[in-house]
Every structure is written in C-alpha cells, then in structure tokens.
Amino acid sequence: MSYLTISYTHKNTDIDTREKLAFGSDELKNSFTSELLTQDYIQEVMLTSTCNRVELFMFVKDIKQAISFAIGGLSRHSNISYEVLFSRANVYEKQDAIYHMFVVASSLDSLIVGETQIIGQIKDAYKFSVEHDKCDKNITLAINYALRCATAVRNATSLGEGQVSVASAAVAMAKDIFKTTKPQAAVVGAGKMSQIAMRHLLKNGFDIKIINRNYTNATNLKAMIIDEKPRYEENIAIEKFENLHELLGSAELLFTATASTDTIIKAQHIQPSNTTRYWFDMAVPRDIDRVDMANLHIYAVDDLKAQIDENIALRQSKAKQGYKIVKDMQKEFYRCLEETKLQPIIKHLHQKAQAIIDKKLTSAIGKKFIDKKQEANTKKLCQTVVAQLLHDPTVHLKSNTKELDYEQISQCFINSFKLN
C-alpha cells in the first residue's frame, strides 16, 4: 500500500488546460472520485481543485494501475487526450507524495509563495472526501500532519504574514496602474477570492461595487465586511447582476471570481469604449472571454507572473527554511506511520499474553494451587509482570522503525512469539 499524488498546477499546465481539468461542482467531484474507488487497487482518494491546481491524493495498492485509471478518468472529464495528460502530469509516489502534500499545504508550491488560501482549500477537499466516504485513516493521518506542517512553516518563517494570494496580487497590479486616481472597482462574485480582493481594494482606497447572481449573498457580503470594518459602509455599493452587461462599457476596473463553469462576460457583451479598462479575471475556468480590443486590458491568473515573481524573490530565503521544516515533518510522519503499522503486532502480543494468563490461572484454580477468592488479585499481578516484561521489547520495536524495515521487524516478532 502506498500514497500517490497526480498533480496538474501552474508549473506544468497552462490556464487552458487547468480550465478543462477543473471540477466546477460537488456533483462532478463526487462522481469522479466514486469512479476511482470502483477499482479495488484504489483504497482512498482526495481531490483538490482550485484555480491553480487539480490534484489527486490517493492511497493505493497498485501504483501503476492507479495512475493509468486516474489519468484515464481525467481525460474523459476534460476531453484532453490521455497521452497529453500523462506527459504533463507530475506524479509523486510513496514518501515523495507525502513530501509534496506537505509542501503544498505549507504554501511553498503555490503560485504566490506564502498565500493563505491553499490551507483552507485542502481542508475543504479533505472535508468533502470524509463526508462522501472517499477516505479513511491513511489520508486522515497524512492531512493531520500536513496541517501541522503548514502551521510550523508559517510560525517559523512568517511566510503567512499579510494576505498574499492571486487576488491580492491583482489588486497590487491595479494599485500600480491607478497611482493617482482610484476609480470604483466592480467585483463580480461573492466567494473567497472576491472577498480577499474586496478587502485589499478597500484597504488601498478603492470604492467597490459588488455584483453577484444572488442579490442576497451580495447583501450579506457587504454586511459582513462592514461588520468587520464599519468605516467602509459608504465605500461599498451593490449592483444587480442583470445590469452587468450595461456596466461593461464604463468599467475602468473590474475583478471577477465566480464558480461558473462557463464565461459570464462573453465577447458579444463587450463593446468598444473610449474608456481605458483594466479587468482582472481571477477565476479558473475563466469568467471573461478572450477579446482583443483597443483600450481593454484583460489579465487572467497566469498574467500576474511579474507580481508573483517579485513575491517569490522576496520570500526565497524564508522558503528555504520552510522546506527544511517540511523534510523534518516528513520523517516524523513516516516514523508515526511505521508505529501505526506495528500496533496490530503489539496488540496481538498482549492479547496472547492475556490468553496465557487466563488459561494458566483457570488451571491453577482447578488444581487448587490458587484460591478462587484470590483470582482477581492474582490476575492483576500476572498482568503487571507481563506488562513490565513486554515494555522493553515494545519500546525497542517502535524505536527501531527508523533503521529497520517494517516487514523485517514484524516478521521477527511474529516468528519469535508465534503470533500467527
């Protein structure tokens, strides 16, 4: 049994590929992961699908078969050929899969190193997996350690100081463009990415207009932000979604981040304008059709590279420290994993000892060697002696998982104590 990760991110795929691979609904996620689990060589699965990554984290019996079946499923889902997906995939096996999960959770593999969204996205992916019976103790143990690792990296390196994300990078670029004047920014969507963008826009002096299909959600979002910072009440307006297309001609600054599986601003809705417009499409799949038009600048996730590169340069030294923490945590995880594997042997050892105590005690009472009234005290004494006798071998068994192979250790104890 082994851990396995199949990864598609900003590092090995372009935004067009990631759009096709993305899972836009819980129904799609549930259907796809259920399909994977129909194969007896795939035991557990967790799917992470974000704007910058689609990753399968699995616990499998047969790595080769699992890779082939999973990529085949992704090919059918995305309508991208198996050969293309196979050639582009980053595949991590066994300890490398754990290392990669810890690196991702610690935001060292993110488009913007140190961004804080990824940990929430992993928690959401794990929660979905648990609630839909897609994972069990093996992925649970790995995720618990990944979260511990992320906390250790954040505390030791300060990589998580300040909210750093695709949304904050987009706002930073907008701030550089509008150095003197600050137009009202239209924000389409009410999810986490939109919320981050709104907070950064308000912090940097921009007024915002919230546009969302669900007017109630937009109203609730405005109330939430005002509850956090009452001074922003007059800086936030709400516009009905049906008026979006009318606003496009005059929208100097626009941010979109919806969960739509199709573009919501289509080419036919975008008309030429004398107003110079800067639009930031933070969604994957994208919210805005690609349009080549004078005075219109549309930035997708991958277009934020300059801002991202600057971030990486500033955080490089801190990231090195983070990788060391990840490596140490990976070693600790595997020590824990080996101890977990050995628990059945230790339990079996104690159960056999208890069975011997019960058998010998019954025989001794039957032969009048021990008074029946002393049975409880005698049993307790025997259990104490056995516990003390087994203490040193048990400690030795656990401590030597660092140097010895688990199979060798377990077989040695099974043969020595006849635990079959």
125 token code pair: 């992916």
| Cα 337 from Cα 315, distance rounded (Å) | 32
pLDDT at 388 over 50: yes
Does residue 51 have an active-site annotation? yes
Q: What is the mean pLDDT of residues 226-237?
A: 92
pLDDT at 411 over 90: no
pLDDT at 246 over 50: yes
pLDDT band at 409 (very low <50, low <70, confident <90, very high): low
Catalytic pick among 51, 149, 336, 382:
51
pLDDT at 95 over 60: yes
Length of the chain in terms of residues written: 420
User: Could you tell me which residue, 388 or 158, shows the higher pLDDT?
Assistant: 388
Closest CA to 276 of 245, 298, 302: 298
Least confident of 155-159, 184-188, 210-214: 155-159
Q: Output the pLDDT for position 232.
A: 93
pLDDT band at 163 (very low <50, low <70, confident <90, very high): very low
Q: At 10, is the secondary structure helix, strand, or coil?
A: coil
Q: What is the mean pLDDT of residues 103-112?
A: 86
Q: Output the pLDDT for position 257.
A: 93
256 - beta bridge partners?
A: 188, 281
Q: What percent of the chain has pLDDT over 70?
A: 91
- How do the residues of the chain divide into helix, strand and coil, expressed in percent and rounded to 5? 60, 15, 25
Q: pLDDT, tens digit, for every residue of 13-49?
A: 988 899 999 998 999 999 999 999 999 999 999 999 9
Taking each helix axis from N to C end, the angle separating 63-78 and 26-36, rounded to the nearest 10 degrees, works out to 150
Would you kindly state where each structural domain of the chain is located, as residue ranges? 2-162, 166-309, 344-392+410-420
Q: At 399, is the secondary structure helix, strand, or coil?
A: helix
- Looking at CATH, the fold of the domain delimited by 2-162 is given as Beta Polymerase; domain 2 (3.30.460)
Q: What is the mean pLDDT of residues 180-196?
A: 92
Q: pLDDT, tens digit, for every residue of 112-155?
A: 777 778 899 999 999 999 999 999 999 999 999 999 999 998 88
User: Could you tell me which residue, 390 or 306, shows the higher pLDDT?
Assistant: 390
Q: Output the pLDDT for position 169.
A: 85
pTM above 0.75, yes or no: no
Average pLDDT of the chain to the nearest whole number: 88
Domain 166-309, CATH class in plain words = alpha beta
| Cα 65 from Cα 39, distance rounded (Å) | 9
Q: Output the pLDDT for position 164.
A: 59
| Cα 251 from Cα 280, distance rounded (Å) | 12
